[in-house]
Every structure is written in C-alpha cells, then in structure tokens.
Structure 1
Amino acid sequence: MIQKENKHVFLNKLKEEPFIEIFRLQDMGDDTIFENYQRYDFYQLLWFTKVGGDDIYFLDFNEYKIEKDQIVLIFPGQIDKLDVEGKEGYLFTIHNDIFYNISLQLNSDYLNGYFSNTFISLDIDTKVRLEKINELIFLEYNSGNRLGLMKSYMEALLFHVSALFEDSHTLNNGDIFVAELMKLIDNNFICEKETDFYANSLGVTNRKINELCKKGTGKTVKQHLQEKLILEIKKEIRLRRKSLKEIAFDLGFNEPAYFTRFFKQHTNLTPTEFRDNK
C-alpha cells in the first residue's frame, strides 16, 4: 500500500516499499522546497499544463525554457530547481523497481536514460489520451490506491509519451550504441575512468569506441567521463551535504590537491570558489 501521508516523498531517499505518487504543481505554490537544488533517488515525470511567472527550469545546472503541455522525465541522481509559482501540472514520482519493470515492457529509447532532459511537447491527440489516463490515476490514488493498477496506468501514460518521442526521433545503430555507452558511463564513471573499460564492455577497440562516440556526440569517451565527473562534483557541492574532502574521497580523488586542480582545469574555479559562488 502506498503511504500518502508523506507529502514531500520526493525529498527523501527511496522508501522500502515500491510506490507511485502524484502531486499537483498548483498545490505546491506555498512551498519553498523547489527553490533550492534537490537530488532524487527515484524517477520523476513532470507535466506542465500551464506556465506562468519564471519559465526557466534548472536541471543538472542547465537552463530550459518550459512551455505549456510539455513533459520531461527526471532520472535518479539528477539535480533540479523550479519556481512553481504561476505553474500548473503534475509531478509523478516512481519507485526505481517499478520504472525498471515498465521500461522493460515498453523497450523505449526515451526511457533508457540517454535521452534524459529531452522535453516532449504534447500534440492534441496525445494530450487528450494522457488527460484521460491521469483522471484514472488520480481516482485510484485517492481511493483504493492499488499498486498493480497504478503501475498499469503509469505504463499506459509512459507508453504514449514514449511513442510521441519515437515518432519525432529517428534512431540509427550509432545512436543505439552511444545510448548504451552513456548508460555504462552513468553507472561506472566513479570507479572506471579509462576508455579501455568501456571499449571492452561493448566489444570494440578504443579507436572504434571513440570514433562512434565522437560521431554521435562530438566528444570522446574521455571527455564524457570528465564532464560527468565535473557534473557530479558540482551536484555534491551545491547540495552542501558533504565537506569538499568527503566529496573528493567519494569520487575517487586520493589527493585533495589533485581534486582542486582537476575541478579548476575544467571550470576555471576552485571547488571552494564554486561553493561560495551563489
């Protein structure tokens, strides 16, 4: 049974039991929780039905101009900030195990992580379908709240979102290869910082993996690893949950001096300067 009494489940780590939660953005206008960066241990789906006030959404330190009838999927580990004033829509939070099972069923490129931060604009037909599914989700959430039924409704909703994405994106074998590579990097970048690991995991040479990676993204594997590491450092610093020394150690830097040099080389700021820079 889903526990609904915790209004701010999205600020917490995963609960032991699987869950799907749904919130209305317009009901959160008096909250300040979105004004600071937050990090999530589960999946979220944001659906904007009305945009007012500040129309900028910050996701992993990138700025996105949001529009009415847009949806974006937020993956575990991402960090975001949003001014909810003047906005209407829905926030769905989805337990990792449930999302994983849904993604296996749908086998969607949109759900695999490589295309995260892709905002999908709803067409009229898809919007009508999602509104009907959403009515069923709210009805069940506020009555029986049966997890199996909630999962079925969420799978239907994600099916239509994924279909809309795939109708507007033509993927080739190179795209699929890069998607697998990005997934590997996401899961291993802290412990595996050399190209060899990723080439061996995907059964290609270092030269081939860099050729495909650069063709698909304009960057080498090493550049992606460095960017991922810098992004992770920024997230940890901005969340202010750990000291700089703890962040360095957790991310595999044995020497604080090297940690500082690495960060400054890629950002032109020391970790301390970034922390103090509002």
Structure 2
Amino acid sequence: MLQKNTDIPYQQLPFVGQFNIFPLLGFKTELTRQPHRHDHYQVVWFSKGSGQHIVDFVSYELEDNMLFLLEPGQVHQLLDDAKEGHVITFTEHFYFSNRHEQATMYDFTNLFDATRGYAPIRISNRTAATFQLLAELMYREKSASGSSRSIIKHYLNAFLLQAEREKKRNAAQAIAPLKGDERVVLLRRLLEKNFRAQHHVTFYASEFSLTPKRLNEITREKTGKTVTELLHDRLVLEAKRKLSFSHQSVKEISYELGFEDPAYFSRFFKNHAGIAPQDFRDVMFK
C-alpha cells in the first residue's frame, strides 16, 4: 500500500538511457498495481490481457491486442489477472534528438494527444503480427553490441505509424462517431494550457472570436459537454493527481488550481468527484 510519508510521483522503470522495451510478462511489481505515473512516453501493448487497466482514474477492461498510449504525467495502474505483451518507453529527446529530426520525422505527439478523448486502441490480428516483428527487431538491436539509436528509432517510428493507422481505423468503426471540428481540438489544448488560471468561458470564447453561447453550442454538439463542463473535468483530474502524488495540503492545491477560497474548492471537488478532497486522499493511501 502507499505510505503517507513517502513521495512516489514517478515509477522507476528498468529504463536504459532514453529508450527501452521489455516484456509485460516479466514486469510486475507492487507499484504497478498502485496509481503511478512516468516522466516519459509509454506504449503498453497487451497481446493477451484480462483484468483492468486504470488510466487517469478511469477503468478499462483488458482484451487481447489492446494498445495504450500514455503521455508523461498520466496516472495509471494495472489490476490485472493475466497479461502478455510489450512495453516501449522513450523520451521526446530520444525521438527528436536534433532540429532536423523535428522537421522531418513523424510527429508522434499527435498520436499521444488525448484532446479528442482518451481511449485504448484495439489492434487487428494483421497489425499485431507486424507489431510482434517490430518488437523483436527492437529487442535485437537494443541488445546488439554497438546498437544504433538511428535503427531503433526507425523501428519505433514504424511501430507508431502502424498504431496511428489502427487508431484511425478504430475511430472509423465507432458506432456513432462525432463529426470532427478542429476548434474543439484547439479548445482542449487551450484548456490544457490555461485551466489553472482561467475558469471562465468568456476567456476561451474570446480566443476564437465567438460568444460564450456559440462556443458552448459547438462543444456540446461535438463532445456532449459545455466548455465549463470540459474545464471542470480537467480541474478535477488535476486535483486527483495532486491529491494522489503530492504532499501539498488541500488548501495549497486549491490555490494552485486557481481557487481563491479553499472551502469553495472542497465543495467543487465533492460535487464533481462524489467525495471530499481529504477523503479521496485517504482512500488512495488506505
């Protein structure tokens, strides 16, 4: 169990340099079953899986050939019954080691971008076979004498491009896919940048030269939520992360998230999370 006097914001993986790949079957620690986060990008491919994988406090039922893409700072935990597959970890610096690569390499950050809503990716059998081949090539190059960063990077690049194709296929096969609107994607990115300081719809509407009413109409049509609801979701998620992974008091967290009145923040959190902030923290450390 987590200890209240121990600060463990990031899990220490068997991370060699700025890239690593390792089998899921052989990787199991007490910490994997507890909420934790990483300071690098992580690709978790369950070739066989059952149980639960919880990402940012949302539980997903594991299936065979399911892929999870995690950005730095995302919270997750594995409550699994069985799992096989591979984990790939890498830093942005590993992938983009110079300006030329930033201009010419595939921009994987869009693949990991959850602004359209986070969801695992279901992988077809054909793509799973390709993933297995690319994983074996990465293992082989990583363990070779004088292994090449460039070769590993190209194998990784091919893996991520295949993942992007599957992500698009998943979206196309959705029962009721929402029509895209680039303004909603930009709004989510704007929220991500400003949610701590800007709690009013008028700020975000002005960025699009729209009235608050019109921006709310757009977001409700595309996401089923108003701007305020999207903002509140992000504030609650960040509050949960802070309550789980910091020693800051509830009062300090409320100020950091832009609430001038800690008592109002506590009411806000309980209204949206169904539990008071301190009670949520106590449950996490139980």
Give the C-alpha shift of residue 22 in structure 1. Answer: 1.6
Aligned length: 264
Alpha carbons 1:26, 1:85 under 8 Å: kept = no
Instruction: Select which of 146, 149, 155 maps to 1:147.
Output: 149
1:193-212 Cα deviation digits (max 9, x unpaired): 22233223334332322111
User: What amino acid maps onto 2:134 in structure 1?
Assistant: I
The match for 1:165 is 167
Whole-angstrom distance in 1 between the partners of 2:236 and 2:215: 22
CA, structure 1 residues 104+228, in 2 after alignment: closer, same or farther (shift >3 Å)?
farther
Give the C-alpha shift of residue 172 in structure 1. Answer: 7.5
The match for 1:273 is 279
The match for 1:215 is 221
Alpha carbons 2:47, 2:128 under 8 Å: kept = no
User: What amino acid maps onto 2:122 in structure 1?
Assistant: S
Give the C-alpha shift of residue 177 in structure 1. Answer: 2.6
CA, structure 1 residues 269+112, in 2 after alignment: closer, same or farther (shift >3 Å)?
closer
CA, structure 1 residues 108+199, in 2 after alignment: closer, same or farther (shift >3 Å)?
same
Q: CA RMSD in A?
A: 2.9
Q: How do 1:179-258 residues align onto structure 2 when only pairs under 5 Å count?
A: 179-258=185-264
User: What amino acid maps onto 1:186 in structure 2?
Assistant: E
User: What amino acid maps onto 2:65 in structure 1?
Assistant: D
1:246-265 Cα deviation digits (max 9, x unpaired): 32232222332222222123
CA, structure 1 residues 153+190, in 2 after alignment: closer, same or farther (shift >3 Å)?
same
The match for 2:24 is 25
Instruction: Select which of 46, 50, 66 maps to 2:48.
Output: 50
CA, structure 1 residues 99+266, in 2 after alignment: closer, same or farther (shift >3 Å)?
farther
Q: Which blocks of at least 5 consecutive residues in structure 1 are unaligned?
A: 1-9
1:113-157 Cα deviation digits (max 9, x unpaired): 224532222112211111111111111222234333222211110
Alpha carbons 2:179, 2:222 under 8 Å: kept = no
Q: How do 1:103-142 residues align onto structure 2 when only pairs under 5 Å count?
A: 105-106=106-107, 110-115=111-116, 117-142=118-143
Alpha carbons 1:111, 1:162 under 8 Å: kept = no
The match for 2:6 is none
Whole-angstrom distance in 2 between the partners of 1:103 and 1:182: 26
Whole-angstrom distance in 1 between the partners of 2:244 and 2:188: 24
1:223-273 Cα deviation digits (max 9, x unpaired): 111111011111211225333233223222233222222212323422112
Whole-angstrom distance in 1 between the partners of 2:158 and 2:116: 20
Give the C-alpha shift of residue 18 in structure 1. Answer: 7.5
Alpha carbons 2:121, 2:170 under 8 Å: kept = no
Match of 1:118, SS state, is coil
Alpha carbons 2:47, 2:84 under 8 Å: kept = yes
Whole-angstrom distance in 2 between the partners of 1:185 and 1:41: 21
TM-score, normalized by length of structure 1? Answer: 0.83
Give the C-alpha shift of residue 174 in structure 1. Answer: 3.4
Match of 2:139, SS state, is helix
CA, structure 1 residues 159+103, in 2 after alignment: closer, same or farther (shift >3 Å)?
farther
Whole-angstrom distance in 1 between the partners of 2:255 and 2:246: 15
Alpha carbons 1:48, 1:71 under 8 Å: kept = yes
Runs of 4+ with deviation above 6 angstroms = none
CA, structure 1 residues 263+177, in 2 after alignment: closer, same or farther (shift >3 Å)?
same
The match for 2:91 is 95
CA, structure 1 residues 77+188, in 2 after alignment: closer, same or farther (shift >3 Å)?
farther
CA, structure 1 residues 223+147, in 2 after alignment: closer, same or farther (shift >3 Å)?
same
Match of 2:43, SS state, is strand
Match of 2:25, SS state, is helix
Give the C-alpha shift of residue 95 in structure 1. Answer: 1.1
TM-score, normalized by length of structure 2? Answer: 0.81
Instruction: Select which of 35, 38, 46 maps to 2:36.
Output: 38
